[in-house]
Structure 1
Amino acid sequence: MPRSLPWVAALLTLIGVPAGLAVTGGNLDPALTGAVAVCLALLTLLVGRWPLTVLIVGVLSTVALHTAHLIGSGWAWPSTAAFVALALAGRVRTAIVAGVLTLWYGVVWDSFVEPLPADRVLGQFGGEVLWLAAALATALAYRSTRRWQQEAAARLAQSLHERELDARRRRAEERVGIARDLHDVVSHTLAVVGVHLNVALDIFDEEPAEAREALRLAQEVRGRAMGDLRSLVDVLREGDRIETPAAGLEGLAGLIDRVRSAGVTVTVTELGERDAVPAPVATAVHRVVQESLTNTVRHAPAARATVMLHYTPASVTVEVADDGAGAAPGTEGHGIMGMRERVAALGGALTAGPVPGRGFVVRALIPVAA
């Protein structure tokens, strides 16, 4: 129940009681009417904590005022706020039973204890029945709407929780892939450095020029290995930026040949120097090209595809376009989602979709220093 409800109910009671007495022809003495309104309004402030108690006390107070001939009309409607609060608390049946008993008592009182004309008794009874029914129906509709909103929010929270668990599972699996990266990329490179150092050590006295060249090559390979290792350490520190192993830029030629053998004409354009691209970025580039061309062969009736790779010191741009229809607007398969997550893990961004005049285009921008 909203915390502001008791205050709203008290305000409505404070205004509604004098207005109701005026409309129904009750006692219009300002002092008496004001006292009744204030008492019922103060009582209503407790409706949030004890709705049934407030309803009983409110109805009994109305009965007592009728018995003392202090008011001449109104049995259920002065306690409307208590009836509504009880319905909002989920006790609709109790509110209905209390309303029926209150109105039945009022009809008996007006008919036999304080005899009133039959038409007036029926008019007051019918008006109060309609008023009480409308109030309870509004409260029930509001409560149903709030319950539906809470259930929808709970389902959404559960869905987000499941997605988070799935994302954590994928990250755990991808961390295992980093161990393979350390072995396949860094360990292999360090082994090559060891070979060059052994060569330089063996021929240092006899052939100093060749030994110097071997040391230069070892230093160069060592520099590249340190760059790859630094990238992998950054990935581990971020925690949510995980890269999985795959063939690097050297494997693009074989990949494109296989796509060509499937009947798709592939044109490749490379700008810049690929040697400065670290292993995690090269892996992501390979995966983007692989997944894009795989989608071209499997899902798009395309005859031609273009692959553009632009290497700069700050970033690598990958663009794969084909002349097929591609995915329908608004749909995104697991392949595109995987590419986007892979690129985002390195601090980049990926877009995929149909472009007028160009077909289906996948474009990724990956920072080298991410």
Structure 2
Amino acid sequence: MLTKNFTYVAAALTLVGVPAGIAVTGGDMHLSGDVNLSGDVTRGGGLENAIFAGTLACWLALFALGLRRWPRGILILSLCGVFAMRGALLVHSGAVWPVTAALVAVVLAGHLRFAAVTGSVAVVWFALWDATAGQRSADWVLGSLGGEALWLAAVLAGVTAYRNSVRWRHEVAHRIAQDESQREIDARRRRAEERVEIARDLHDVVSHTLAVVGVHLNVALDAFDAEPEEARASMKLAQEVRNRAMTDLKSLVGVLREGEVPALESLEGLADQVRAAGLKVSVTEFGDPADVPAPVATAVYRVVQESLTNTVRHAGATRVVVTLRYSPTRVVVDVQDDGSGGDGSIVDGHGIAGMRERVAALGGALTAGPGKTGFTVRAGIPILAD
């Protein structure tokens, strides 16, 4: 989950958010060390305040670039940086919220307990410091403590929920892949059993036919001169046996060439599996799939399966629309989601190249890229006439 893009975004948001947050909370007013005639401590100017707030933001943003490799160390280092600025009286607010990016990274890395304990200790520590060395009023300390604690809880809860959702989607996608692998194994086993059964039938039909025909031909040959009528009857019986054998063979060949398309009939079941991951999936078909050859049907099924798997794993989508159009000469399949795949996060390495090769092998073409609302995969496969 911790990618290079995450570290860059975290650094940028820290660079902008920390000065803005300090300005909103009034913590950019540092003590100048000057005391007026009445004994009140004076405050620094606006430019000087902005410089100190920007300095803290720059340091925290720089630390954030290392979150991918050392999330826990960066969290501790960032808290030390905030305390250094607070201890030097350069900024007067902020405990854990300036290090939000580091907290998020630690939770995403799977260290929720570390983030919770470290954040809680930091909140209490800064509250005690404000009440003693910072000489803040009790009301201010309690308000700051409550706000920081609430912020910490919200960040931890939100990031944990997001992490659990992503893990759930990955697990569902993994289960779908496992189920498909098991179906492939079962299908190969069934095909092997069918081939064995057909081999037996072919053996029985052919051997029986040849044996019977051979007997009648021998009878006809022996009786050809002496008893032509018996020879004619034997030839006729041999012809009838041959005709029955041809009918049986045609039936067996018909089984082998049967035009069923179980892959297309399984699309709704595939959609149900993806719906279990929390996505809304709709499958719409136009035309009659009965005449679609098995190789084309298999390719269509694989395109839909891989597209849905990519959506579950990478797009962060909430809805997927699958549309299939059958015509006498062509099958067109569209898979459109509303996720973040349109920003370029889904590339050929996620199986798109494999889909493109499968479609191209049948004379078709596949395109994949950003759509109107997310990521779109579109494939057109011709149906070649026999």
Q: Shorter chain as normaliser: what TM range?
A: 0.5 to 0.7
Amino acid at match of 2:124: W
1:18 corresponds in structure 2 to 19
Q: 1:216, 1:41 → 2: CA distance?
A: 97
* CA distance 1:10–1:206, shift in 2 (3 Å): farther
Check whether the contact 1:103–1:125 (CA below 8 A) recurs between aligned residues.
yes
* CA distance 1:177–1:346, shift in 2 (3 Å): farther
* CA distance 1:346–1:88, shift in 2 (3 Å): closer
1:126 corresponds in structure 2 to 146
Check whether the contact 1:84–1:139 (CA below 8 A) recurs between aligned residues.
yes
**Structure 1, residues 133-175: CA drift from partner, whole Å, max 9, x if none?**
1101101111222233233333333333333333333333223
Q: Structure 1 stretch 51-60 or stretch 19-28: which is displaced more?
A: 19-28
1:280 aligns with 2:280: no
Name structure 2 gaps, 5 residues minimum: 29-45, 260-268, 270-290, 298-384
1:55 aligns with 2:27: no
Amino acid at match of 1:62: V
1:164 aligns with 2:184: yes
1:97 corresponds in structure 2 to 117
SS at match of 2:103: helix
Q: Structure 1 stretch 205-214 or stretch 68-77: which is displaced more?
A: 205-214
SS at match of 1:71: coil
- How big is the shift at 1:216? 9.8
Check whether the contact 2:67–2:74 (CA below 8 A) recurs between aligned residues.
yes
Q: 1:19, 1:87 → 2: CA distance?
A: 24
- How big is the shift at 1:72? 2.0
Amino acid at match of 1:63: F
1:236 corresponds in structure 2 to none
C-alpha RMSD over aligned residues: 4.2
- How big is the shift at 1:25? 0.8
**Structure 1, residues 228-281: CA drift from partner, whole Å, max 9, x if none?**
8xxxxxxxxxxxxxxxxxxx6xxxxxxxxxxxxxxxxxxxxxxxxxxxx81215
- How big is the shift at 1:183? 1.9
Indicate which of 101, 109, 112 corresponds to 1:81.
101
* CA distance 1:70–1:175, shift in 2 (3 Å): same
Indicate which of 201, 212, 231 corresponds to 1:181.
201
Q: 2:97, 2:70 → 1: CA distance?
A: 19
- How big is the shift at 1:222? 6.8
Amino acid at match of 1:128: E
1:308 corresponds in structure 2 to none
Aligned-residue identity in percent: 53
Q: 1:282, 1:84 → 2: CA distance?
A: 62
1:150 aligns with 2:170: yes
Check whether the contact 1:281–1:346 (CA below 8 A) recurs between aligned residues.
no
Q: 2:238, 2:177 → 1: CA distance?
A: 54
- How big is the shift at 1:96? 1.4
1:137 corresponds in structure 2 to 157
Q: How does 1:333-344 map to 2 (within 5 A)?
A: none
Name structure 1 gaps, 5 residues minimum: 229-247, 249-276, 285-313, 317-329, 331-342, 350-368
* CA distance 1:346–1:23, shift in 2 (3 Å): closer
- How big is the shift at 1:56? 0.7
1:297 corresponds in structure 2 to none
Amino acid at match of 2:190: R
Q: How does 1:1-370 map to 2 (within 5 A)?
A: 1-3=1-3, 4-27=5-28, 29-195=49-215, 197-199=217-219, 201-202=221-222, 278-280=250-252
Q: Structure 1 stretch 142-151 or stretch 53-62: which is displaced more?
A: 142-151
* CA distance 1:60–1:344, shift in 2 (3 Å): same
TM-score between both structures, scaled by the size of structure 2: 0.53
* CA distance 1:188–1:344, shift in 2 (3 Å): farther
Check whether the contact 1:111–1:118 (CA below 8 A) recurs between aligned residues.
yes
| Matched positions, count | 249
* CA distance 1:35–1:110, shift in 2 (3 Å): same
Check whether the contact 1:196–1:217 (CA below 8 A) recurs between aligned residues.
yes
Q: 2:143, 2:255 → 1: CA distance?
A: 83
- How big is the shift at 1:39? 2.3
**Structure 1, residues 288-331: CA drift from partner, whole Å, max 9, x if none?**
xxxxxxxxxxxxxxxxxxxxxxxxxx999xxxxxxxxxxxxx9x
Q: 1:105, 1:173 → 2: CA distance?
A: 72
**Structure 1, residues 25-67: CA drift from partner, whole Å, max 9, x if none?**
1226344333322321221122122210110111111111222
Check whether the contact 1:185–1:279 (CA below 8 A) recurs between aligned residues.
no
Check whether the contact 2:2–2:108 (CA below 8 A) recurs between aligned residues.
no
